[in-house]
Chains A and B, each alone.
Chain A
Amino acid sequence: MNLADHWLFSYQALARHRLRSAMVLLAIGMGVSSVLLLTSIGEGARLFIEQEFSALGSKMLIVLPGKKETTGSSPPLYGTSPRDLTIEDAQALKNIRTISHVAPIIAGTATVSNQSLSRDIIIIGTNREMFTVRNLSVKQGRMLPKNSETRATPVCILGAKLAEELFKKSSPLGQWLRIGEYKYRVIGLLEQRGESLGLDLRDMAIIPVRSAQMLFNSPALFRILLQLKQTKFETSTIVKINKTIAQRHEGEADITIISQDAMLSSFNKIIVAVTASIGAIAAISLIVAGILIMNVSYISVSQRREEIGLLKSLGASGREVRLIFIISSLVITSFGTLAGLILSYSIVFIIQTNFPSIPLAIPWWSTLAAIFMSFIMALLFSWLPANKAAAVDPILALRG
């Protein structure tokens, strides 16, 4: 019996027992699509995070004040440098030729109020370059003044939610509001971009970095954001930054530099691990489908005893009978897997087109794994019933 005939014979057997075949088909289809859909959630989350990072620009470096190190002879202590990063440090970094933008940042919480309405929010003190580095833009009004690093101009740019909360329907542009002890004039509104790395840009005010120094009464920068001219300059630039800071900080480069790639790859590792474990959970549903294949094959062997006896009397050996049963379970598995693939890809497609905000994507490896798994299951779980069929005594079977 050649392969084409095996397929034909199995197909005839499956097409005839429609309900039974449909049940197994359903089970395998559900198993496969649960693997694909569950992993697509994990993969979607990974892509979402990757997208968020790339929105920041891949050429970004973050300089944090202080360096974790052991100082002193004994006892060893974890010490952070007493020296703050200052606006002047940030300005010094501008002299490094591979850096295109430098954005010093002071961040803190303060109470913002307009007449009787007030709100505790995060205040960011920075300069114009942060808008470039973090891909932000002003929807209405003006940018921060050019001299944000030298003059404490009392102006601010508001996030959309904050503006609405404080000014309701009226336009905030040109209005004065109070932040902490000082009064600021609203010169612009931020383009709505939602959440970025845990910072809600909608509920935030941006002021010139000098003004922030005054507001929080401290020269210390929270961090410095840098944008490189090209990604390949990363390593050499880090060396230069350390050197520049060391010159300014009495020979000690007491800063920590984080590259975006490093952050992204650590996030990636976590997400891949999460996706894989979701996949493993989903694989359990495939195993359940496999057990169903086994049960149905067992029933099928009992129902087809007479046929098996006949095949043997017609010259089929036990090996051929076993093959017939294994192939028929492979045939149904092929159809079931196909149905599962079509089902899950269409569900993901429908969700992607109708709800683009829900991140879903079926990873290629889970598609392969699901196909592979379902065939392994089919082989594994049809083996026992197929052996049982091969061992049927033709004389007894034909006697009925």
Chain B
Amino acid sequence: MTDNAIINISDINKTYQVGEQPLHALQNIKLNIKQGEYLSLMGPSGSGKSTLLNMIGLLDRPDTGQYQLQGENTELLTEEQRALLRRKYIGFVFQSFHLIPRLTALENVELPLMLAGVKPKLRREKSSKLLSELGLGNHLGQLPKHLSGGQLQRVGIARALITEPTILLADEPTGNLDQSSGQEVTDILERYNRNGITLLVVTHDLALGNRARRQLNMIDGVIVTDTRLSTIKIKQYEQQGSSQ
């Protein structure tokens, strides 16, 4: 059943100590994600959405359970090895962008390639091409403080995409944006999903969450619903979306 899954999570548990009380952030999570899927992860604050996202992004380690990424067991890997996998397969998009303020838009996008040891000329070409694709061709040399929210998030997306990851993890990608910039960002993410990238969006925003073909709902560290929309329904949503 999990042959073509790129992410294969079974029985993951994670507990945090909050004051006196242990907080069960993830309880026996089981989740398989296939290449090219579009998932949304919704639920109230403190339900464990972000913890799961960080777990999938190899930023956090489960207490118990198994997590296979591209068929590779990750629980026993060293920090170095996990960093390598992260660099290879995973792109993060953050709610508050997390661009480095002293670096220009282009330099921010180049950063993952710099960490991966790509030659300056090549990474410069690649990054400016991607930024141009995202409509920021005229803003390459600008510092983040001179860019609008929507532009900042597009730089953030470019940075996540530059290493050509297989999975894009977006934590409230439109949370800090106004309606139209939010729509822009959503369109970009979905465009890349249609081209084959796996997209997982964590959000409070029902309108955004409902666009995904597979919708997960979490409460108190448990995935309570896992809904796959039929193709027809998706078509309807897409038509609604384009008519807006």
Interface of A toward B, CB cutoff 8 Å: 1-2, 4-5, 9, 12-13, 16, 306-307, 309-320, 394-395, 398, 400
Contact, CB under 8 Å: A315 / B87: yes
Within 8 A of A (CB), among B58-93: 59-60, 79-80, 82-84, 86-88, 92
Say whether, besides A9-B114, A315-B83, A317-B79, A395 and B54 are in contact (CB < 8 Å): yes
Say whether, besides A314-B159, A315-B87, A317-B79, A306 and B117 are in contact (CB < 8 Å): no
Contact, CB under 8 Å: A314 / B111: yes
Most buried by A among B57, B59, B84, B96: B59
Partner of A317, one of B80, B92, B114: B80
Q: What chain A residues lie within 8 Å of B79 (beta carbons)?
A: 317-319
Contact, CB under 8 Å: B102 / A312: no
Partner of B83, one of A4, A306, A309, A320: A320
* A322, chain B: closest CB distance, angstroms: 11
B151 within 8 A of A: no
Interface of B toward A, CB cutoff 8 Å: 50, 54, 57, 59-60, 79-80, 82-84, 86-88, 92, 94, 96, 98, 100, 102-103, 107, 111-112, 114-117, 120, 159, 163
Contact, CB under 8 Å: A400 / B96: yes
Contact, CB under 8 Å: B83 / A317: yes
Contact, CB under 8 Å: A310 / B98: yes
Say whether, besides A395-B54, A398-B94, A314 and B112 are in contact (CB < 8 Å): yes
Contact, CB under 8 Å: A312 / B59: yes
Partner of A315, one of B54, B100, B112: B112
* A8, chain B: closest CB distance, angstroms: 8
Partner of A314, one of B82, B96, B115: B115
Q: How many A-B residue pairs have CB under 8 A?
A: 66
Q: What chain B residues lie within 8 Å of A394 (beta carbons)?
A: 59
A306 to B96, CA, bound (A): 11
Closest 4 CB pairs of A and B: A315-B87, A317-B83, A16-B102, A314-B112
A5 to B159, CA, bound (A): 17
* A128, chain B: closest CB distance, angstroms: 78
Contact, CB under 8 Å: A314 / B87: yes
Residue of A nearest to B89 (CB): A315
Residue of B nearest to A319 (CB): B80
Partner of A398, one of B82, B84, B98, B100: B98
14 contacts between A and B (CB under 8 A): A1-B115, A4-B120, A12-B102, A12-B107, A16-B102, A312-B59, A313-B57, A314-B86, A314-B112, A316-B83, A318-B80, A395-B54, A395-B60, A398-B94
Residue of B nearest to A1 (CB): B115
Q: What chain B residues lie within 8 Å of A310 (beta carbons)?
A: 98, 100
Residue of B nearest to A16 (CB): B102
Residue of A nearest to B100 (CB): A307
Most buried by B among A309, A314, A316: A314
A320 to B120, CA, bound (A): 18
Partner of B117, one of A2, A317, A318: A2
